[in-house]
Structure 1
Amino acid sequence: MASSATLPSQMKAWTYAEYGKSSDVLKLGSDVAVPQLNDDQVLVKVVAAGINPVDIKRMHGLIKAADSPLPIVPGYDVAGVVVKVGSQVKKFKEGDEVYGDINEKALDHPKQFGTIAEYTAVEERLLAFKPKNLSFIEAAGLPLAIETANEGLERSQFSAGKSILVLGGAGGVGTMIIQLAKQVYGASKVAATSSTGKLDLLKSLGADLPIDYTKENYEGLPEKFDVVYDTVGECERAVKAVKEGGHVVTIEVTVPVVPPAVLFVLTSNGAVLEKLNPFLESGKVKPMIDPKGVFPFSQTREAFAYLETGRVIGKVVIHL
């Protein structure tokens, strides 16, 4: 492991200098400058990086107006080892194993230099210690998804004894919502939608009522739910499945929001990961990595192509 005295000035990183499809625009560079640290940041030697649908939306230019300047190193999620700390950093030291989502605001000027690189710089407050029982690959698949799941549950005032319907239960965020609703928040009932082949997965995560969206209209069920959490952009249908006075939250920014649904965009926070770490370390909440979703750094283009299929179960992770 390079100590801070011997850190290189350049690194390998995947970048894009124009917006477009990952297969067209992603390039591997070996002479990208290692990010400079601010006083409140640590430099992380990346061991693994999770990729998310937001990376694709960003690469396609959908948040152009609020993006950082090109060229961009993609990637929000990181798991790795601290190799240098800024002068105001109190919690972490060189050698600590950490994980987190490096962009505090997902769609408001995310960092120009993300996590699909040998090194990334990130504010101390956005990181947590990596759960001891998880590999770097498992940890890298968690931050954005588990923090998004948690923030939506908080915003919908979810609490013990309430029921929830999760739209898109087999995705990165959906797999986390089911587990958190059940294991952390004490849901009375968890319903979740997926395609036919993923219903057993939903059950294994704790869903009491797996719904095959290819065969059933969930909004037509006689039963209504205290909370509906839409991860797939079906707001118009979601609001028909909620109880009177219940809450609907959505994370899909590309479709219109229908009242009473509320759209939110994640604010990343390492304290949330610290709060959830005991549930991860006890095995009550488990990372969900797609069986075909682990790719070496050299195959980053293939990793994005797989994510772009829309058929991923849980998360796709790149390891260095």
Structure 2
Amino acid sequence: MKAIARDRYGPADVLDLRDIDTPSIGEDEVLVKVRAAGVDPGVWILMTGRPMAVRLAVGLRRPKVAVLGRDVAGVVAAVGAGVTRLRPGDEVFGTCGSGSFAEYATARQHRLAPKPANLTFVQAAATPISAVTALQSVRDARVQPGQRVLVTGAAGGVGSFAVQLLKVYGARVTGVCSTSKIELVRSIGAEDVIDYTQHEIDRGGAQYDIIIDTAGSRPLPLLRRALTPHGTIALVGGGHAKGWLLGGFQRQMAAPLLSLFGGQRVCGVTARERYEDLEELTPLIESGSVTPVIDRTYALADAPDAIRYLAQGHPAGKVVVTV
């Protein structure tokens, strides 16, 4: 089969389109004929092997898995003997283990769910990691109807889903984005928008009950100045923070300790990949309450360019590779 693979860590130049064996499946696994694959910041992390801490899980000197890509949408081609929830021919979406930038990928059955009927494969591939992370951020922050919630990176992958989910939860949403994305952020449900090129998030003082920080580019003291005295900050990912070892994820690790000082609560959000969350999202997607925002699509052979574009840091919604 055709796949985008590499033998070492590095920039997108280490990737190439090559012929490799179709992966075999275990008892609890599913073989998916890939139709589309999402591109998320985790792809860049796994490609570069940075921050260095990730290599403890994915290979110290070289990557254990040659093929990149985790978000997947496609059709079940085969199932292992222990698979009970899915069967060949089912259209599915979720996350995979063998790399989705390929014609076929494997996934454990608990990481796949039936594809929402109203989504294309491209839209479905844009959904799993970002939408589940957004859903768990809203849950972890304990959002209640009527609360004022600020979302940084509101036009990004996680941010665009978070804005829409917050509206479902009945929150009053303010999105933070650049000038060119203001109309997009308003169109997906934000009542107010802060253009970060013109204003900082604490322009109105301590007014937000919750801040969901998906961008990771603002220091914690600034986030706290925009938060009410007993509000909550949900930190999502490492963002653009520097650091060769942890790359900004130290903020999430320190969140429980940070909550001990003052009345504000800080929580670190680490997405847990489960089909139950995908199934919870499905009726919201099929009703039109939540819709994936797609920035660009790339053919499989052009996946390195898709990653380069993502690394520039300014997609409006998701980037997707079609297979």
Contact 1:74 1:115 in 2 (8 A): yes
Consecutive unaligned residues of structure 2, counting only runs of 5 or more, are 239-246, 260-265
Give RMSD over aligned pairs.
1.4
Secondary structure (helix, strand or coil) at the match of 1:221 reads coil
In structure 2, the residue matched to 1:99 is 93
Alpha-carbon shift at residue 175 of structure 1 (Å): 0.3
Aligned counterpart for 1:203 among listed residues 172, 186, 195: 186
1:42 aligns with 2:30: yes
- Which residue matches 1:79? 73
Aligned partners of 1:295, 1:308: CA distance in 2, in Å?
15
- Corresponding position of 1:3: none
Question: How far 1:223 sits from its partner (Å)?
Answer: 4.9
1:29-86 CA-to-partner distances (Å, cap 9, x unmatched) read 11x2222211111110000000101110221112222214435211110000001011
Q: 2:105 aligns with which of 117, 120, 126?
A: 120
Q: Distance in 2 between matches of 1:248 and 1:83?
A: 42
The residue that corresponds to 2:17 in the other structure is 28
Alignment deviations for residues 236-269 of structure 1 (CA, whole Å, 9 cap, x no partner): 2222222122111112323252634322221111
Number of residue-to-residue matches in the alignment: 295
1:296, 1:319 within 8 Å by CA — same for their partners in 2? yes
Mapped contact 2:95–2:128 kept (Cα < 8 A): yes
Alpha-carbon displacement from aligned partner over 1:112-166 (angstroms, at most 9, x marks no partner): x211011111111111110111110111001100000011111111122222100
Supply the distance in 1 between the matched residues of 2:107 and 2:66 (Cα, whole angstroms): 15
- Deviation >4 Å, runs of 4+: none
Tell me the distance in 2 between the aligned counterparts of 1:34 and 1:20.
24
Q: Structure 1, unaligned stretches of length 5 or more?
A: 1-10, 103-110
Q: Distance in 2 between matches of 1:101 and 1:41?
A: 12
Give, as a single letter, the amino acid of the residue that structure 2 aligns with 1:65. Answer: L
TM-score (normalizing by structure 1): 0.89
Question: What is the TM-score with the length of structure 2 in the denominator?
Answer: 0.88
2:127 is the alignment partner of 1:133: no
Match of residue 274, structure 2, among 226, 246, 269: 269
In 1, the alpha carbon distance for the partners of 2:145 and 2:84 equals 35
SS of match in other structure, 1:66? helix
Q: Distance in 2 between matches of 1:235 and 1:251?
A: 13
Tell me, in whole angstroms, the C-alpha distance in 1 between the residues paired with 2:58 and 2:223: 30
Partner SS for 1:220: coil
Residue 5 (structure 2) aligns with: 15
Change (3 A) 1:239 1:66: farther
How many angstroms apart in 1 are the aligned matches of 2:30 and 2:189?
37
